[in-house]
Amino acid sequence: MTEVRHKQIRFWSGVAFLLAVITGLIVGGVKIQEYLQDAQRAPVQVVDFSGDFSHVNVTRLERLIRQSQPGSFFALDVNEVYKLVEAQPWVYRASVRKQWPNTLKIYLVEQQPVAQWNDDFLLNPYGETFNASADDLGLPKLFGPGGSEKTALEGYNAMQSLLATTAMPIAEMSLSERFAWQIQLENGIELNLGRQEFIDRLQRFIDVYPLLAKQPKAVKYVDLRYDTGLAVGWQEAEDEKS
């Protein structure tokens, strides 16, 4: 009986010990979780922005990050911060990572605006639209049907390259539903280039412009939608005064 009782005592002692261990692990886990969630014990003290940017308001962005992730360094969700940062209008790409013990490091690649699109959006060099304001940048204005952003930008770049040596940059360009090209130069001259061979037609204008510039009246528009030749509209005296 004594041996049986000793076995029972050892068994229940083992059970009690196991329960104590399990209880300790549970309590310890809860305490650790509470500690990790406690922003005062492990706060994100530094949000470090890097990269080449001038339009991104990092002060405002840091405030948004702290409002959306008010917990501790350990509880902060890097993926959520990444989504928030890349949703900002002027951010093209971003990377986000934690750095022990209290820093959130964010690298930003800023959007590079090259043109205004339909008076609603900006275009980056890849023909992608983004919703931001750049009225003070003096960007050219491009217009066209939805989905034609890349085509319009490629056409603009090709024509602008051709005009680079003429001191007549493009101020505004329109691409119609039928993909006919019209441009207005910064000197006010309007060019109707039509749908086909618009680069060759623009070169024709460049070749003949020195002769047009010698005329007593200033050029108002030039219609180049002809296989050969062109049609010229001249400014009247009232137009020149205005």
Query: How would DSSP label each residue in 64-105?
Result: HHHHH--S-TTT--HHHHHHHHHTSTTEEEEEEEEETTTEEE
Q: For 176-235, write each residue's pLDDT tens digit.
A: 999 999 999 999 999 999 999 999 999 999 999 999 999 999 999 999 999 888 999 999
Look at residue 34 in the predicted model and tell me its pLDDT. 63
Q: Which residue has the tokens 């928030």?
A: 84
Give pLDDT, residue 6: 65
For residue 5, give the 3-state DSSP assignment: helix
Compute the C-alpha angle 197/202/204, nearest 5°.
100
Per the prediction, the chain carries an average pLDDT of: 89
Angle at CA of residue 201, ends 240 and 155, nearest 5°: 95
Global pTM? 0.78
In degrees and rounded to multiples of 5, residue 222 shows phi and psi of -135, 125
Phi, psi of 200 (to 5 degrees): -65, -40
pLDDT category at 48 given cuts 50, 70, 90 is very high
pLDDT in tens, 33-45: 665 555 456 788 9
Nearest to 157 by CA among 137, 130, 149: 149
Please give the DSSP secondary-structure letter assigned to residue 112. -
> Helix (H, G, I), strand (E, B), or coil: what is residue 169?
coil
Q: Comparing 12-16, 141-145, 159-163, which segment has the lowest mean pLDDT?
A: 12-16
Q: How much is the pLDDT for 75?
A: 87
* In CATH, 115-241 is 3.40.50.11690: yes
Q: Radius of gyration of the chain from Cα atoms?
A: 34
- Pairing type for strands 115-117 and 121-123 reads antiparallel
Q: What angle do CA 139, 178, 112 make, to 5 degrees?
A: 25
Confidence label for 242 from pLDDT (cuts 50, 70 and 90)? very low
Residue 61, pLDDT above cutoff 80? yes
User: What residue type is 74 in one-letter code?
Assistant: F
Superfamily of domain 46-110: membrane protein fhac (3.10.20.310)
Sign of the Cα pseudo-torsion (201, 203, 206, 212, in order) = negative
H-state helical runs in the chain:
2-37, 58-68, 78-86, 149-163, 198-213, 237-241
pLDDT tens, position by position, 93-132: 999 999 998 999 999 999 999 999 999 999 999 999 999 9
